[in-house]
Amino acid sequence: MGPSTDAGTLFALVEIRALTKTYVRGKQSVEVLHGIDLDIPEGDFVALMGPSGSGKTTLLNLIGGLDSPTAGVLKIDGDRIEEHSRDELAAWRSATVGFIFQSYNLMPVLSAMKNVELPLLLTDMTRSERTRRAAVALELVGLSDRASHKPNELSGGQQQRVAIARALVSDPRILICDEPTGDLDRKTADEILGLLRRLNEEFGKTIVMVTHDPAAAKYARRVVHLDKGTLVDEASH
């Protein structure tokens, strides 16, 4: 059984207060997020849903440190990440966040094992330690027997499993998932979502997932709906 998601009893790993994001396009300013308030307890699995242009991917990118807010407070583990320099933010992302995207973003010339090892090349780990950790991550996603295969030798579901292993290899606190099953058929999507739920329930990974698919959202513990840059609804499963 996974950790409780009662925000009143659990530490808020992600704390967002009055968060605003504005983009300047030419002479126009477009406010994409309008004063968002949201807590995500450690061990939660949150699905962000909403129509195109609702701001869900912008919010995901802010939580993952890929973008900076215009105003408001964004704390991860009590740390105001919007105050970090670019280099500090890169180091923070490397240590804290694992990213899983709709397009698997694998290097086509590298084996599954080498793709999973990639994030560890930025660390001072020895080659043998990198290989060991990549092997553990591939075993976790059920692909030990495909370690030497290149992406074009794998199915879409297997490629996404490699991408998940790559996101896990540095043992991040948070997994950021942007439409992780958008390119997969229903059966394969359910397998990937089941893996994500297992990572949440058995390993306590905090997961924030953008999806447009109600069937995918059912795998999350909690669904947060956005519309036109505003938090409009929240439901627990």
In tens, the pLDDT along 86-129 reads 888 888 888 899 999 998 999 999 999 999 999 998 888 899 99
Per-residue confidence (pLDDT) for residue 10, from 0 to 100: 60
Q: Which of 126, 146, 125 is nearest to 135 (CA)?
A: 146
- For 94, the 3-state DSSP assignment is helix
Mean pLDDT, the chain, whole residue set: 91
In tens, the pLDDT along 173-195 reads 999 999 999 989 999 999 999 99
Higher pLDDT, 26 or 131: 131
Mean pLDDT of 73-78: 92
Q: Are 54 and 226 in contact (CB under 8 A)?
A: yes
Res. 70: pLDDT tops 90: yes
Per-residue confidence (pLDDT) for residue 8, from 0 to 100: 40
In the numeric block, the tokens 């899983």 are attached to 100
Res. 152: pLDDT tops 50: yes
Q: Please, what are the domains in the chain?
A: 42-67+85-236 (3.40.50.300)
Which range has the worst mean pLDDT, 22-26, 161-165, 173-177, 204-208?
Answer: 22-26
CA distance 213 to 198: 19
Per-residue confidence (pLDDT) for residue 5, from 0 to 100: 40
Mean pLDDT of 141-163: 96
Per-residue confidence (pLDDT) for residue 64, from 0 to 100: 94
In tens, the pLDDT along 42-59 reads 999 999 999 988 999 999
Q: Which of 217, 228, 224, 213 is nearest to 53 (CA)?
A: 228
